Chains A and B, each alone.
Chain A
Amino acid sequence: MTRLDATHRLAAALGNDLVIASLGHPAYDLFAAGDRDTYFYTWGSMGLASSVGLGLAMAQPDRRVVVLDGDGSLLMNLGSLATIGWVRPANLVVIVWDNGLYGTTGGQDTATAHGTDLDAAARAMGISATATVKTLAELDHAMARSRSQSGPWVIVAKVDESAPAVKPPQDCVFIKQRFMAAIGVPEGGTQGGPA
């Protein structure tokens, strides 16, 4: 399956989930599959999508948070798996589009093309709910399991690279404000009284 095909299939199953998309192709494909206010597209900070998802999952424990990461991005911030494995937010699902490539930068190999297993890495860092999927049907099954069995989940989806045709909105403040409005939280933060 290509990443774009898999993203389309995934998007159909997201419903009201909050989504943090890693920069580059994961974000481009998510936008191509149909834009929603509940999507937060990152345009930088490579590697931090799962960390942003962790913070969001902690702040919004009653919402499901889905992170769309890439293998190269997650390899930049493997410590995030250790922190997720420690905090264990039940409402966090990390999808890793694993194509064994730095796709956005021209197709250089990542370590997953040479033996690194991110599913095993997640389990080694205390995340017990994991899956590796290679077909759309397996992806559907894993997503269904992630709804019935508490997280945190790490789902490694083995995908083929697919060149994205469109880019999401590029105004960072617009992306943030739209996303926070969709959740229904005000700018400036709310907990603990007035700023």
Chain B
Amino acid sequence: MPWAVGVCAGLHAAGSRHVVYVPDNPLSHVLRALRENYPDVETTIATREEEAFGIAAGLYLGGKRPTVMLQSSGLGNSINALTSLLVPYQIPALILISMRGDAGEWNSAQVPMGRAVAPICDAIGLPHATATSPETTADTVALVAKTAFATRTAGVCLLPRRLTVPASRVGG
């Protein structure tokens, strides 16, 4: 299945019915696939990524399994929310990060944060996995979410450009 449909299938299989997000171009494909295939998933757009994590924390406190979608640049806007709310209170969320600044990037302003995403996740204690192909995306997303909610630790699934931007691949 297409990678974006795989993202939806994975989060849905893990029981998430609420997606809070700040959009970027690749994530627009996920949003479209959600509308077309999973109308029972509610979406809420936030003005800024740290706000999205605040909303997600409230959803969890109320008994839901939230997903937060953001571009890698927005991780920089989220660090205080993650380190002083989700991590110390052990509030889980499925975090889907659409990567910029990784292989295939053309915009140098995206590269420093893109390079920093995995080290930041390691530094603040967020486990992360990467969806490497359309065929394995649903499973990767579902497994990250399963572990996140079962162990009460927010978990990150990285969506690299070689997955989300076919034109960045040779022959794409």
Write the residues of chain A forming the contact surface with B, with a CB cutoff of 8 angstroms: 20, 40, 42-60, 77, 79-80, 82-83, 86-87, 172-173, 175-176, 179-180, 183, 185-195
Report yes or no: A45 in contact with B47, Cβ–Cβ below 8 A.
Answer: no
A187 to B20, CA, bound (A): 20
From B16, B45, B62, B150, A55 is in contact (CB under 8 Å) with B62
With A48-B54, A57-B62, A173-B88 given, can you name 20 additional A-B contacts, CB distance below 8 Å? A45-B80, A45-B84, A47-B50, A48-B85, A54-B58, A55-B55, A55-B62, A55-B66, A59-B58, A59-B64, A80-B54, A83-B46, A83-B55, A176-B89, A185-B62, A189-B63, A192-B17, A194-B15, A195-B14, A195-B145
Report yes or no: A43 in contact with B84, Cβ–Cβ below 8 A.
Answer: yes
Q: List 7 A-B pairs, minimum CB-CB distance, nearest first.
A: A55-B58, A59-B62, A44-B84, A51-B54, A79-B47, A185-B63, A48-B54
Q: How far is the CB of B53 from chain A (nearest CB, A)?
A: 8
29 contacts between A and B (CB under 8 A): A43-B88, A45-B54, A46-B80, A52-B55, A52-B61, A55-B57, A56-B59, A58-B44, A59-B61, A77-B48, A79-B48, A79-B51, A83-B55, A86-B45, A87-B44, A172-B88, A175-B89, A179-B61, A180-B61, A186-B63, A189-B65, A190-B64, A190-B65, A191-B17, A191-B65, A192-B16, A192-B65, A195-B145, A195-B149
Write the residues of chain B forming the contact surface with A, with a CB cutoff of 8 angstroms: 12, 14-18, 20, 42, 44-48, 50-51, 53-66, 80-81, 83-85, 88-92, 145-146, 149-150, 152
Q: How far is the CB of B34 from chain A (nearest CB, A)?
A: 13
Q: How far is the CB of B101 from chain A (nearest CB, A)?
A: 24
Report yes or no: A83 in contact with B51, Cβ–Cβ below 8 A.
Answer: yes
Report yes or no: B88 in contact with A44, Cβ–Cβ below 8 A.
Answer: yes
Report yes or no: A45 in contact with B81, Cβ–Cβ below 8 A.
Answer: yes
The interface residues of chain B lying within 8 Å CB-to-CB of A55 are: 20, 54-62, 66
Select from chain A the residue with minimum beta-carbon distance to B54.
Answer: A51
Report yes or no: A57 in contact with B51, Cβ–Cβ below 8 A.
Answer: no
The interface residues of chain A lying within 8 Å CB-to-CB of B61 are: 40, 52, 55-56, 59, 176, 179-180, 183, 185
A172 to B71, CA, bound (A): 28
A40 to B57, CA, bound (A): 11
Select from chain B the residue with minimum beta-carbon distance to A179.
Answer: B61
The interface residues of chain A lying within 8 Å CB-to-CB of B48 are: 77, 79
A51 to B20, CA, bound (A): 11
A183 to B62, CA, bound (A): 8
Give the most central of A52, A58, A193: most B CB within 10 Å.
Answer: A52
The interface residues of chain A lying within 8 Å CB-to-CB of B56 are: 55
* Contacts known (A189-B63, A191-B63); A82 close to B47, Cβ less than 8 A: yes
Q: How far is the CB of B69 from chain A (nearest CB, A)?
A: 15
Report yes or no: B62 in contact with A60, Cβ–Cβ below 8 A.
Answer: yes
A34 to B149, CA, bound (A): 32
The interface residues of chain A lying within 8 Å CB-to-CB of B54 are: 45, 48-52, 54-55, 77, 80
Report yes or no: A48 in contact with B89, Cβ–Cβ below 8 A.
Answer: no
Report yes or no: A83 in contact with B47, Cβ–Cβ below 8 A.
Answer: yes
The interface residues of chain B lying within 8 Å CB-to-CB of A175 are: 89
Give the most central of A42, A82, A83: most B CB within 10 Å.
Answer: A83
